[in-house]
Amino acid sequence: MRLYDVTIIGGGIIGFGTALGIQRKNPELKICVIEKDEVVSNHQTGHNSGVIHSGIYYKPGSLKADFCVEGRASMAEFCIEHNLKYIKCGKIIVAYEEEEFPRLENLYERGVANKVKGLEIIGPERIKEIEPYAAGLKALYAPNTGIVDYREITEKYAQISMENGADVFLGTSFESYWDPKTVGENLILETSKGEVETKLTINCAGLQSDIVAKKMGINPKLQIIPFRGEYYNLKPEKKDLVNGLIYPVPDPQFPFLGVHFTKTVHNGLVEAGPNAVLAYAREGYRKIDINPKELLSTLTFPGFMKFGAKNWMTGFKEINRSYRKNVFVKDLQKMIPEVQKSDLDSGGSGVRAQAIGTDGTMIDDFAIEVADKSIHVLNAPSPGATSSLVIGKYIANLALEKILS
């Protein structure tokens, strides 16, 4: 059995961002990453919108605000340095009714407080210059927002971390651990392919992070609730209806940004979405995917019951939009009136790992819990991918403190 200084559970963008963060601080440390699937970035990282967010939405002083602003710059630099797909296409967040103006102004102020550069409030003429087919009375323009392919980026993170000496075990699932109190100084992790001895474990298991934490003796006061986001694709011949990114003004009660148009780095094709419906399985990418055990655990979690009691109306609207393309299209037509139902093909989907506290509140900020010989990333929703190098650096500092103390 090989001894590692650090074992990272989860081969998504946060797991590999953390591996790079540790190697940059201390290249001598022996690291391994264990990933249950046969490929990296098979879940949230490989099923997201591919946007490098600029840091507008987040409460000043929060981890999200700080990490995203620094993360945007470091992600853009990383893509340029490694010749990965990256387009700084800019984004508009559009108000369609006057009653949305205060929320738009509020977003502008947040962005300025977060030191997001180049923000401008613009009127209908400037909206048309940037996005000729977009409607709207007023918009917040964020010129530094960009698009990338996070799967490609994570593969590059993995490649670099292996070149730097990390071992990556794919198709290897973390199952349980032996407490050092019973076996000595280090943790012994039991995986589907045998045991791994490690001084420190970092849990970056995304949709499974609360389950992994519990298996490691942590009792987080939250649970991951899976919310599926479904996309439509604009037909290729309609892709020129969108130049960059067109978003609505989000509902401040929810961390989700509302269905939007996203240009992708894949031949300029455009996605519309994602919505946010409760998934009946943590890795439930289709409406028909149900995992009875996971669904029961969601429905009986007291935090979800409280959340559901407060937000059932929004939940109902999301389900209605998920099953009725007409309703989805109507929302999209607010942004681009020319878009027709026939212009849209069904697209992919992603499942967000959104932590909800036992008191029923959606945990808005990134949540990282530090224990004796383990660190747990318990909430890393959007802009987690944008922020991954900075989250990795932050966790590396925590890890080194633990290992060197």
User: Is residue 148 a contact partner of residue 79, using CB atoms and an 8 Å limit?
Assistant: yes
Min dist CB 276 to ligand FAD, Å, is: 8
Distances (CA, A) of 374 to 5, 244, 334: 11, 41, 47
Per-residue tokens: 393: 């650096």
- Report DSSP state, residue 51: E
Alpha helices in 97-223 (DSSP H): 101-113, 124-130, 150-163, 180-183, 209-215
Q: What are phi and psi of 93, to 5 degrees?
A: -110, 115
Count of residues that bind ligand FAD according to CB under 6 A: 42
Q: Which of 7, 19, 21, 48 binds ligand FAD (CB under 6 A)?
A: 48
**Rounded CA separation 133/61 (Å):** 36
Which residues, 6+ apart, have CB-to-CB distance to 11 below 8 Å? Answer: 33, 34, 35, 37, 40, 41, 154, 158, 168, 170
Is there binding between residue 110 and ligand FAD (CB under 6 A)? no
Is there binding between residue 382 and ligand FAD (CB under 6 A)? yes
**Rounded CA separation 55/387 (Å):** 10
Is there binding between residue 352 and ligand FAD (CB under 6 A)? yes
Report the residue number, 238 or 282, with the smaller CB distance to ligand FAD. Answer: 282
**Rounded CA separation 291/226 (Å):** 12
Is there binding between residue 204 and ligand FAD (CB under 6 A)? yes
Q: Which of 31, 207, 362, 375 binds ligand FAD (CB under 6 A)?
A: 207
Is there binding between residue 386 and ligand FAD (CB under 6 A)? yes
Min dist CB 204 to ligand FAD, Å, is: 5
Report the residue number, 41 or 138, with the smaller CB distance to ligand FAD. Answer: 41
Report the residue number, 12 or 303, with the smaller CB distance to ligand FAD. Answer: 12
Using CB under 6 A as the binding rule, the residues of this chain from 211 to 230 that contact ligand FAD are 212, 229
Min dist CB 123 to ligand FAD, Å, is: 27
Using CB under 6 A as the binding rule, the residues of this chain from 254 to 293 that contact ligand FAD are 274
- Contact residues toward ligand FAD (CB under 6 A) are 9-15, 34-37, 41-45, 47-51, 53, 173-174, 204-208, 212, 229, 274, 350-352, 380-386
